[in-house]
A and B are shown apart, each in its own frame.
Chain A
Amino acid sequence: MKILVCVSKTPDTTSKIAFTDGNTKFDEAGVQWIINPYDEWYSLVRAIELKEANPAATIHLVTVGNADAEPIIRKALALGGDEAIRVNTDNSDAYYIAAQIAEVAKQGGYDIIFTGKETIDYNGSSIGGMVAELVDAPYISLATKFDLNGNTATVVREIEGGEETAEVALPVVVSCQKGMAEQRIPNMRGIMAARTKPLKVVEPAAVDALTSIASFELPPAKAGVKLVAPDNVAELVRLLHEEAKAI
């Protein structure tokens, strides 16, 4: 069984968000980069658990990004996974990225493709569905559970107003979120092993980007909190009703 785990580099959740070059670029000064939490905690760890249950399975990681992404790829390899593929481009269009992953997927012939439910920088929730369409596989979005029984997966996924349990034959593309697995910390043996695991760099396939980011902007700063005394809640209710018109 072959599993492909899509891994993305994102700024740490506590990063200060600022922009440079006339608000056209994310300001990377002082930013700590991490593996996108949904990719790491849920999809990668679930893949590792599946391999622990079935040691014959192989896990490949794929990242679409430039050489700056290599430290986080090594960290992912330290958690688990047999080898990694980096598609060498810094394009940020979801279709362009999905098409690169689909290309890797077609060549590797994977049974399961895991993505995170979204990246915490672009918040698109787009890559999984696009990859599924491009490789013509069923897509389980927002999965909270994934269990294997031979060639059939039993999944639980979030739907509007609840959840749904379903069965699907492999191959399948799954976007993962909380519930799939628990966060792990790489151990020393994993970190040492990751240094020598193969990290293959491939050039991107010729694909048209269908979107481009023109500019960024920050939301207007909050005017500051209006404090109301705890013995005067009627004033809070008045403000919410008359000033904020929220109740």
Chain B
Amino acid sequence: MSVLIFIDQSEGHVKKSSLEALTYGADIAKQLGTTAEGIVLGTVNDDLAALGKYGVSKIHQVSNAALNNVDAQVYASVISQAATASGATVVVFSHNQTGKAIASRVAAKLKAGLVAGACALPDTSNGFSVKKTVFSGKAYANVNILSAVKVISLNPNAYKTVATEGTAAVEALAVTVSEPKVKVTAVNKITGEVPLTEADIVVSGGRGLKGPEHWGILLDLAKELGAATACSRPVGDAHWRPHHEHVGQTGVQVAPNLYIAIGISGAIQHLAGVNRSKVIVVINKDPEAPFFKAADYGIVGDAFEVVPQITAAIQKMKAGA
């Protein structure tokens, strides 16, 4: 019996969402009185032994270069073999793009019940029940997993990473790696920006900014805060901002600590992409904008005047700190 955590890597580096999954999986192991182990596939440049500080005692590594691109079929086969070999009863993923590609395949392969999009530790007092977000963040469901082996994918930014002391034993794992049927011909990663789904702070703009030439005030604020930038659907559709910044029901769903919405009215489809944010600030000149109902803090005012003042006030606060 053990808990196996899939460690996602991009360009040789372990993702923040995986550190959350490691902490989460290690806490489940503590709850069940067992050990937590990680599995990482492909070429990794980070110090894997150091991941022991997130609570895993062992890391299985399959450093086959054929695994540098995520192929759902091949990954699921390798992770399932590892789960069976290590006697894992719980397998944990992050519910990020990679997790969405492979957790379901692993669950079907192991005939394990899956809770996708978990947001809290399981309740094991009477069976095994996991809380997850449903209805695009508007509610939660407590889901019982009935099978012996359980698969859970954890929402990004839903569980706090805790680093303590510890070193993990890194062991090469002998498994069969089949040839992927999907041939990757090009990879286009967005570099030099804070990835939207991992950002602690997101600054987002809507039609209220009136045109792409006015985005400077938003970018200045984002830079001051080390925040990722996002936009509403009409802004993405009008190509004022790149499509990958579109946050909402049909775009990216984010759950940062702080979401600052500038000139966004807050249509229900937009809220579906942001309502898991911990703190929401809305700046809009229309006091009737529906977004204010979902906000924690708000300013009814002209973004072109207010936003540069906020940037300046943050600078001042930092200088004084």
A residues less than 8 Å from B282 (CB atoms): 225
- Residue among B71, B112, B143, B278 having the largest count of chain A Cβ atoms under 10 Å: B143
B residues less than 8 Å from A236 (CB atoms): 281, 297, 299, 310, 313
A206 on the B face (CB < 8 A): no
In contact, B116 and A233 (Cβ under 8 angstroms): no
- Report the bound CA distance from A14 to B290 in whole Å: 13
In contact, A233 and B142 (Cβ under 8 angstroms): no
A166 on the B face (CB < 8 A): yes
- Report the bound CA distance from A212 to B128 in whole Å: 11
In contact, B116 and A230 (Cβ under 8 angstroms): no
A227 on the B face (CB < 8 A): yes
- Report the bound CA distance from A138 to B114 in whole Å: 20
Given known pairs A233-B309, A247-B225, the reply for A227 and B299 (CB within 8 Å) is yes
A134 on the B face (CB < 8 A): yes
User: Which residues of B in the span 214-244 have a Cβ within 8 Å of any Cβ on A?
Assistant: 225, 243
For the complex formed, measure the closest distance between the CB of A67 and the CB atoms of chain B, giving whole angstroms.
Answer: 23
- Residue among A14, A163, A166 having the largest count of chain B Cβ atoms under 10 Å: A166
- Report the bound CA distance from A124 to B102 in whole Å: 12
- Report the bound CA distance from A14 to B189 in whole Å: 34
Closest to A162 in B: B189
- Report the bound CA distance from A165 to B314 in whole Å: 41
In contact, A162 and B187 (Cβ under 8 angstroms): yes
Given known pairs A126-B107, A212-B146, the reply for A166 and B296 (CB within 8 Å) is no
Given known pairs A215-B141, A236-B281, the reply for A244 and B136 (CB within 8 Å) is no
- Report the bound CA distance from A117 to B225 in whole Å: 32
A residues less than 8 Å from B281 (CB atoms): 236, 240
Chain A contact surface mostly: mixed
- Report the bound CA distance from A140 to B301 in whole Å: 45
In contact, B187 and A222 (Cβ under 8 angstroms): no
A residues less than 8 Å from B161 (CB atoms): none
- Report the bound CA distance from A123 to B137 in whole Å: 9
In contact, B188 and A162 (Cβ under 8 angstroms): yes
Closest to A18 in B: B139
Interface 9-mer from A90-98, A106-114, A185-193: A90-98
Given known pairs A132-B105, A140-B182, A244-B279, the reply for A94 and B116 (CB within 8 Å) is yes
In contact, B257 and A159 (Cβ under 8 angstroms): no
- Report the bound CA distance from A124 to B306 in whole Å: 39
- Residue among A14, A37, A162, A168 having the largest count of chain B Cβ atoms under 10 Å: A162
Given known pairs A138-B73, A211-B146, A217-B142, the reply for A241 and B317 (CB within 8 Å) is yes
- Residue among B8, B111, B113, B189 having the largest count of chain A Cβ atoms under 10 Å: B113
User: Which residues of B in the span 66-109 have a Cβ within 8 Å of any Cβ on A?
Assistant: 69-73, 76, 95-98, 100-105, 107-109
In contact, B306 and A230 (Cβ under 8 angstroms): yes
- Report the bound CA distance from A159 to B140 in whole Å: 26
In contact, A178 and B250 (Cβ under 8 angstroms): yes
Given known pairs A132-B105, A233-B309, the reply for A142 and B114 (CB within 8 Å) is no
In contact, A95 and B181 (Cβ under 8 angstroms): no
In contact, A246 and B279 (Cβ under 8 angstroms): yes
In contact, A159 and B70 (Cβ under 8 angstroms): yes
- Report the bound CA distance from A244 to B76 in whole Å: 41
5 CB < 8 A contacts A-B? A133-B109, A141-B97, A161-B195, A216-B134, A226-B296
Chain A positions near chain B (C-beta within 8 angstroms): 11, 13-14, 17, 19, 37-38, 41, 93-95, 98, 117, 120-130, 132-134, 137-142, 154, 158-169, 177-179, 208-219, 222-223, 225-230, 233-234, 236-241, 244, 246-247
Known: A120-B272, A160-B96. 8 other contacts (CB 8 A): A121-B135, A124-B116, A178-B251, A210-B114, A219-B140, A225-B295, A244-B279, A247-B201
Chain B positions near chain A (C-beta within 8 angstroms): 8, 10, 15, 69-73, 76, 95-98, 100-105, 107-109, 111-117, 129, 133-136, 138-147, 180-190, 195, 201, 225, 243, 246, 249-251, 257-258, 268-269, 272, 278-279, 281-282, 292-302, 305-306, 309-310, 313-314, 316-317
Ranked 9 nearest A-B pairs via Cβ: A230-B301, A129-B104, A210-B113, A162-B189, A133-B108, A141-B101, A246-B258, A124-B116, A130-B108
